[in-house]
Amino acid sequence: MRRFVFTLALAGSFIAMAVYGLSAPSSLSAREKQAVAPRATPAPRPQTPTAVIPESSRPSTVVVIDAGHGGFDRGGIPGQRVPEKTMTLDVAQRLKAVLTAYGYRVVMTRDSDVFVPLGTRVAIANSYRDAIFVCIHFNAARRGSANGIETYFYSSQSLPLASAIHYYVAGGAPTPNRGVRRRGFYVLRKTTIPAVLVECGFLTNATEANFAQSSAYQQKLAEEIGRGIRERSLVASTSAANRLAANNTTVPLQPFIDQTHYRDPDLARSKRGKRSSKSSSKSTSSKRKHSSDSDSEKRSSTRKKKSAPAQTEN
Ligand code: ZN
């Protein structure tokens, strides 16, 4: 059942590529193309995943975990009660334990309450070959009712990872599914390895803030993200899964990735606010609304370049 459902995630990935305007097949690596290409004769595939996944497509052994914010940068919005930086670090450390148990080599961009510039985070990620980069964040909005999980990617090579992680996190969380989204966050845009940013819920939402502060839920988040990372390998060998998905026309294919055109009023307003504000790096500029690292990110990226990060939805 799980595998069956997982095929939906895979199908969703490719739908998303189309929706987002990514030229799906042409932007895939040669290896991925090979995996996606239809087979003339659908030979029966071995049953064990280890036999299915060619060595070259096995999961990366290095996972760079990026706990959002830290130090003077609390994350979130001004006046937010629960500091995002603490929640992200907690989940990141739990994720480290989960992944280490799986046999991954884990690198943390921060392992304590310190501020690490975005450029440094990216440099750490890019210093590893055959690695993946996973940023942990929590969301915030003035509108207290805003809630749910969303997962961001930027490069097409990151989409399978985003889909896999989101599938598990959103599937395992008792909160709304806000979908997989593409956005040019600095840490996603500047990384050369597959990079994903997970917004694990809204700390400005009473229910989700309560969840986020419970160690059981933090552990659950870490485990689901870890599962997504582990199962990402299945996305790399998609031919079998695609065939399965294609045969399941009665099942909606994008239950978790259907937010492509969803516009969060909080996000939209915050973008305008950010553009006009030349706020400096303190954790406060009171105009900002939304959260995520887009805050700190935009701070640093707008200083370097004026151009806004690319958005897919246009
Ligand atoms: Zn954040």
Distance, CA 47 to ligand 1 centroid (Å)? 40
Q: What rounded mean pLDDT belongs to the chain?
A: 70
pLDDT 10s digits, 11-25: 444 334 333 333 333
Distance, CA 20 to ligand 1 centroid (Å)? 23
Q: Determine the structural domain holding residue 229 and report its residue range.
A: 1-28+58-314
pTM for this model (two decimals): 0.63
Distance, CA 238 to ligand 1 centroid (Å)? 32
Asked whether residue 50 is domain-assigned, the answer is: no
Asked whether residue 196 is domain-assigned, the answer is: yes
Whole-number pLDDT of residue 60: 52
pLDDT 10s digits, 130-165: 899 999 999 999 999 999 999 999 999 999 999 999
SS3 track for 247-310: CCCCCCCCCCCCCCCCCCHHHHHHHHHHHHCCCCCCCCCCCCCCCCCHHHHHHHHHHHCCCCCC
Asked whether residue 16 is domain-assigned, the answer is: yes
Distance, CA 62 to ligand 1 centroid (Å)? 23
The mean-pLDDT minimum among 6-10, 23-27, 135-139, 197-201 falls in: 23-27
Q: Going edge to edge, which strands form the sheet with 62-67?
A: 105-108, 62-67, 131-139, 195-202, 149-153, 177-182
Asked whether residue 212 is domain-assigned, the answer is: yes
Question: 202 pairs with which residues across the strands?
Answer: 139
Asked whether residue 206 is domain-assigned, the answer is: yes
Distance, CA 135 to ligand 1 centroid (Å)? 9
**What percentage of the chain exceeds 90 in pLDDT?**
51
Average pLDDT over residues 245-256: 33
More confidently predicted of 175 and 249: 175
Asked whether residue 286 is domain-assigned, the answer is: yes
- Whether 266 has a pLDDT exceeding 50, the answer reads no
CATH of the domain at 99: 3.40.630.40
Distance, CA 293 to ligand 1 centroid (Å)? 4
CB neighbours of residue 308 within 10 Å: 13
> What is the count of structural domains for the chain?
1
Q: Which residues contact 314 (CB under 8 A, 6 or more apart)?
A: none
Distance, CA 7 to ligand 1 centroid (Å)? 30
Distance, CA 286 to ligand 1 centroid (Å)? 16
